[in-house]
Amino acid sequence: MASSFNFVIGSAKFIFAPIERCLNCKRNFDENMKVLQKLLKELNTVKEVIELRLSAEIHGGTMQTEEVKNWLDDVQRIKTEIEIIECKAKEKKFLSRVFLGKMVEEKVVELKAFLRKGKAFLGMVKSFKYIIVGGGVAAGYAAREFDRQGLKPGQLAIISKEAVAPYERPTLSKGYLNPNPKAAARLPEFHVCVGSGGDRLLPDWYKEKGIQLILGTEIVKVNLALKTLVEGADAKNMFYLRELEDADKLVESIKMKKYGKAVIIGGGYIGLEVAAAMSINDFDVTMVYPDPWCMPRLFTPTMAAFYESYYENKGIKIIKGTVSVGFNANANGEVKGVKLKDGRVLEADIVVVGVGARPLTALFKGQLEEDKGGIKTDGFFKTSMPGVYAVGDVATFPIKLYNEMRRVEHVDHARKSAKHAVKAIKANETVLWRQCWRNFVFQRRQSIITEAKIWVLLDQRWKDCWSFP
């Protein structure tokens, strides 16, 4: 009887053992998948940081990056393999999870190895405490303020699309276009911060301060859908005066098209300044803008009438209330005419588009809150993401005078917002340090009080143990 009972128990174990193993495999699979997801999330974070830092290091040529590139390729491969595993697991077939269990265990081990290697690369790739994206006016003024606030060497990097250190951009539409070579403004004469009466910050200054200039590097990926193009907008001798390179090309074209016809599109700062410069360079100048008068956001009709009259007395023709809708070009692709919305066609050898620029915020879409076409900030230029600040043209900030949020496109705003933001950054760091110190002191005090209570309690128990009736 006993032997029969043992036989039954043995048979039951033999039958249920595979089922139990399958159940264990399923539990292990679910647990390993959770571990896998956690590791993959951490790996993605490391990968993103390495990719961002790698672009700067490649430009600087300071490290061998082939091994890092191979690592990035391997990370992409393993991510694809994990996606396949997840798809198979979602089929919700019991046995599929059992058979995938071994593969998941292997991927966990592989991911841990990749993560260790990635963290090692982070130690190889140079990092910065502060990074300024863009090398405009605000970048130079922010660098100076960081230095005043006690910046340490190696803490700051400025990444700029241009190949030169930050400079005073208003010069491009003024002294840079002076027809007299001896009187024309040229770098290094107008590097920041001469616009506010400060010293010129030459490239050597950044080097002395330990600030890394990463030049000729564009990290903003422009979405073509955000650009506004009109017919013939790729014709030669059409200029957008935004950077030093644009100004150089315009100067060369002025020399080649001497005594020609110039059409200036726009009646703002750029339009008025370039129109004056082209007139000084002996061009027949025509200005075109859609507004009823020039600089309508700043000038009253009376003020605008004075300037328009002054320009017309200098021989500059002004066409208001219409816009350009296209351009005519010759067989060589050179612009020869500007087509207006009202049907007129203006002869042109050079066209300068000075209608303002859209702020470069595409890189931060979905990451930072935006308002009125710019990145929304508070009164200290802090964005919706902690540790990220926006200054200059891209920042939409509260203006107490008008009790509303505004975005300001002016060089003085670029200078002052940069200085204000850096002061806020450093002040916030001081507050955090003090808070950490207060927390430490409080915790230490609580620890001492707790220890004292324990000793009192132990002392009482010791006395109780040795007390006699």
- Environment class of 105 (CB within 10 Å of its CB; exposed 0-12, middle 13-18, buried 19+): middle
- What pLDDT digit, counting tens, does each position of 404-458 carry? 999 888 888 899 999 999 999 888 877 656 666 566 555 555 555 555 555 454 4
Tokens read off for 345: 């066609």
Q: Are 72 and 50 in contact (CB under 8 A)?
A: yes
Question: What's the pLDDT score for residue 118?
Answer: 77
Under a CB-based contact definition with an 8 Å cutoff, are residues 270 and 295 in contact?
A: no
427: nearest Cα among 380, 393, 462: 380
- Among 397, 416, 438, 373, smallest CA distance to 145 is for 416
pLDDT in tens, 155-203: 898 888 788 899 998 898 889 998 888 889 999 999 999 988 899 999 9
pTM check: above 0.75: no
**Is there a contact between 144 and 211 (Cβ–Cβ < 8 Å)?**
no
pLDDT at 63: 44
CB under 8 Å to 22, separation ≥6 — which residues? 94, 95, 98
Please tell me the total number of residues recorded for the chain in this structure: 469
Q: Which domains does the chain have, with CATH numbers?
A: 3-122 (no CATH), 130-230+359-436+452-458 (3.50.50.60), 244-353 (3.50.50.60)
Q: So what's the pLDDT on residue 364?
A: 82
